[in-house]
Amino acid sequence: MTDDRQLSDLNALLDVSRELGATTELVPLLEKVEHAIRQVLECDRATVFLFDRAADELYSVVATGEKGIRFSARLGIAGEALQGQTVVNVPDAYADARFNRAIDKATGYRTRNLLTFPMPGYDGRVVGVLQALNKQDGPFDACDEARASDLAMLAGVAIQRQMLLDEYAEKQQLERDLSLARDIQQRLLPRGNPSVRGYDIAGYNKPADATGGDCYDYVSVQTHSTGFLLADVTGHGVGPALIAAECRALVRAFSLKSSDPAEVLRETNRVLCDDLDSGRFVTAFFGILDPDAHIVRFLSAGHGPILHYRRLRGRCDELPATTYPLGIVPELDSCESQVVPLARGDMLVLTTDGLFEWHDPDGDQYGLERLNASIHDCRDMPADALIHELHRRVVAFGRGTPQADDITAIIVKRV
C-alpha cells in the first residue's frame, strides 16, 4: 500500500468518524455505515447485520437492495464471522458451500465475492457484522481486510452508543407513561372515606409496581346506603390496572340500577367475560352497608377470606368466597347476596392477598393467623390508623423483603 493510499484511507476514516459521531438516530446511522463501506472498500453493495443477543440471531434494519433479513447467528458466512470474531474473505461466492444463494435468487442479484467482518463495541462485545459485496476491480485483498477492520471498530462503537441511547430514551418514555398511568389510577381511588353515622370506614391501596391490579371504591346505591368494592385482578402492572378500572366503572354503573350486591356483580361478570383474555379473572367483594339495621349485604366473587372481627368473642370469623371470580363463568345466576351483622365494636376487614402473603427472608408468610392477632391487638384504633398499623407490621415481619404484590384493604367498623 502506497503512502498516498494510506493517507487517503486515513482521511476517509476520519470523515466516517465525524459522520457517525454527528448522527443521532439508528437507521440513518446504519445507512451512513453502509455508504462508508461502499466508498472505502469500493464495492457494489453493503449490509449491516445487527446481533440480537437474546434471540441469537443476526438481522438487517437497512440494507442496499435487501430489507428485513433475519437468520441464526450461527449459520453461514456472517455467522462464522460473528462466532469466530474474524474477517471472512470469500473470493468466489458460488464456489463456497457456506454461501446462501437464496437471497440472490429472490432479488435477481449476482454475488461474485464478499468480505464479512465483525463489529466490536466499546466494551469488546460484538454488536453485529458488516458485509461488503462485489468489489469493483476484482476480489477483496489484504488491504481491504485492514480497512474493513478499522471501519468495523468505528461502526461498532457508534452503533452500540446509539442503541444504548435509544434504549435509554425508550426506558425514559416508558417511565413517563407508567407515571401517567399511576397518576390516573390513583385519581380513580376515593379521595376520602365516607361519613356514616355510627361507623368508621377507611380504605388503603399500595401497588407493587407503578400501576397495580387492585382497586377499592365507595359507591352510592339506590337506597342511599354506602356500597364498597374491593377487587383484585390477576397480575399487576398496566394491563391489570386497566381491568381494575373497568371493573370499578361497571360496578358503579350497575349500582345505579340495583341495590342487590349479587345482581351488581352478576351484570359486571357478564361484561368482563366478554372483555377478558383467557387466564385473566377478577376476585371481587361488593358489599352494601345498612347503618340502620347494622348489617352488610354482600357477594364475594372468589375473594376471601373475609375477616369479620367480633368484639365480644375477641377474634375474627373467616367468611369464605360465595361464588366464582369474575370473568370466568358467563352466568352467576345461582349466587345470592349474603348478610353479615355488625355488633358494636365489630369490624369487617377486607384485604387482598398481597398483605397476608408477604413473606420474610426465610420464605415464611405473614399469614392469616398473624393478621387476625394484629386486628385483635389494634381493635381500639380508628379504622384508618388500624389499616396503616397492619401494613407496618407486615413490612416489619418481612425484614427487608420487597413488596411482591399489590396491597389493598377496606375496614368497616361499627363504633
Query: Which residues make beta-bridge pairs with 178?
Result: none
3-state SS track over 26-59: HHHHHHHHHHHHHHHHCEEEEEEEEEECCCCEEE
Which DSSP state fits 287?
A: E
* 194 backbone dihedrals φ, ψ, rounded to 5°: -70, 150
The pLDDT value given to residue 64: 47
Cβ neighbors of 206 (< 8 A, separation 6 or more) are 391, 403, 406, 407, 408
Percent of the chain having pLDDT more than 70?
92
The kind and range of the H/E element at 102 are helix 102-107
Other beta carbons within 10 angstroms of residue 361's beta carbon come to 9
**Which residue ranges of the chain lie beneath pLDDT 50?**
64-65
Q: Which residues contact 322 (CB under 8 A, 6 or more apart)?
A: 298, 299, 300, 301, 335, 336, 338
What contacts 24+ positions apart, CB below 8 Å, involve 120-125? 120/85, 120/152, 120/153, 120/156, 121/156, 121/157, 121/159, 121/160, 122/156, 122/157, 122/160, 122/161, 123/160, 125/160
pLDDT for res 67: 55
pLDDT in tens, 268-308: 999 999 999 878 999 999 999 999 999 999 999 999 889 99
CA 373, 377, 378 angle in degrees (round to 5)?
Answer: 120
CATH code for the domain defined by 179-414: 3.60.40.10
pLDDT of residue 20: 61
CATH code given to domain 3-168 = 3.30.450.40
Model pLDDT, residue 4:
56
Q: Give pTM, 2 decimals.
A: 0.67
Q: Could you tell me the residue ranges of all domains in the chain?
A: 3-168, 179-414
DSSP H or E segment with residue 172: helix 142-188
Please enumerate in sequence order all residues whose Cβ is within 8 A of that of 329, keeping only pairs 6 or more positions apart, or say none: 269, 273
